[in-house]
Chains A and B, each alone.
Chain A
Amino acid sequence: METIPSIRVENLTRKFGAFTAIQNVSFTVNRGEIVGFLGPNGAGKSTTMRILSGIMPATSGSAWVGGTAVAHDPHKVKQRIGYMPENNPLPDDMRVVEYLRFRARLKGVSRRKLRETVQDVMETCDLARTARRKIIGTLSKGFRQRVGIADALLGDPEVIIMDEPTIGLDPHQIQGIRKLIDDLRGRLTVVLSSHILPEIERCCDRVIIINRGRIVASGTSDSLREEFLPGNRFELEVEGSERSVAEALTAKGIEAEILEKTAAEGNILHLTLRAEGNGELGPQLIAALNESPDCTLRSLAPRVPNLEEIFLAATKRSWEETIDSSKAKPASADTP
Chain B
Amino acid sequence: MRNFFILLKHELRMLLISPTTYIAAVLFLSLMGFLYWAILRGMVNTPEESLPIVQFLKIFWIPVFFVVPLLTMRSIAGERSSGTLDTLMTTPTSRVAVILSKFGGAYIFYMLLWLSTLSFPYIAAKFFPSAALSGSLLELAPIIGGFTFLALSGILFISIGIFASSITRSQLVAGMLSFTTLFVVIIGGQQLANISASGAELSLWASETINYLQIFQHLDDFSRGVIDTRPFFYYTSTGVLLLGLSTLVIEAKA
Q: Which residues of A contact B (CB under 8 A)?
A: 53-56, 75-76, 78-79, 81, 83, 85, 87, 89-91, 93-94, 102-103, 105-108, 151
Of A75, A78, A93, which is within 8 A of B17 by CB? A93
Other 5 A-B pairs with CB < 8 A, given A55-B254, A76-B92, A85-B87: A75-B92, A78-B91, A78-B92, A93-B14, A93-B18
How far is the CB of A17 from the nearest CB of chain B, in Å?
Answer: 14
How far is the CB of B94 from the nearest CB of chain A, in Å?
Answer: 8
Residues of chain B within 8 A of A81, CB atoms compared: 90
Bound complex: CA A14 to CA B83 (Å): 21
Contact flags B89-105 to A (C-beta < 8 A → 1, else 0):
11111100000000000
Q: Sample 5 A-B pairs with CB under 8 A, ordered by A number.
A: A75-B94, A90-B87, A93-B17, A102-B10, A106-B88
Residues of chain A within 8 A of B87, CB atoms compared: 83, 85, 89-90, 151
Interface of B is mostly: helix
Are A54 and B90 within 8 A (Cβ)?
A: yes
Are A85 and B83 within 8 A (Cβ)?
A: yes
Bound complex: CA A103 to CA B86 (Å): 13
The 8 closest A-B pairs by CB, nearest first: A89-B83, A83-B90, A78-B92, A106-B91, A105-B6, A89-B84, A85-B86, A55-B89
How far is the CB of A38 from the nearest CB of chain B, in Å?
Answer: 22
Interface of A is mostly: loop
Residues of chain A within 8 A of B209, CB atoms compared: none
Contact flag A91-B14 (CB < 8 Å), given A85-B83, A105-B6, A106-B6: yes
Confirm or deny: B45 has a beta carbon within 8 angstroms of a beta carbon on chain A.
no
Question: Can you name the residue of chain B whose Cβ is closest to the Cβ of A154?
Answer: B91
Confirm or deny: B82 has a beta carbon within 8 angstroms of a beta carbon on chain A.
yes
Are B83 and A106 within 8 A (Cβ)?
A: no
Confirm or deny: B3 has a beta carbon within 8 angstroms of a beta carbon on chain A.
yes
Are A108 and B14 within 8 A (Cβ)?
A: no
Bound complex: CA A105 to CA B93 (Å): 11
Residues of chain B within 8 A of A78, CB atoms compared: 90-92
Residues of chain B within 8 A of A53, CB atoms compared: 90
Of A55, A90, A105, which is within 8 A of B84 by CB? A90
Most chain A CB within 10 A, of B10, B14, B91, is at B91
Contact flag A106-B84 (CB < 8 Å), given A55-B89, A55-B90, A78-B91: no
Confirm or deny: B7 has a beta carbon within 8 angstroms of a beta carbon on chain A.
yes
Bound complex: CA A51 to CA B220 (Å): 52
Question: Can you name the residue of chain A whose Cβ is closest to the Cβ of B10?
Answer: A102
Bound complex: CA A103 to CA B90 (Å): 11
Contact flags B128-156 to A (C-beta < 8 A → 1, else 0):
00000000000000000000000000000
How far is the CB of A88 from the nearest CB of chain B, in Å?
Answer: 8
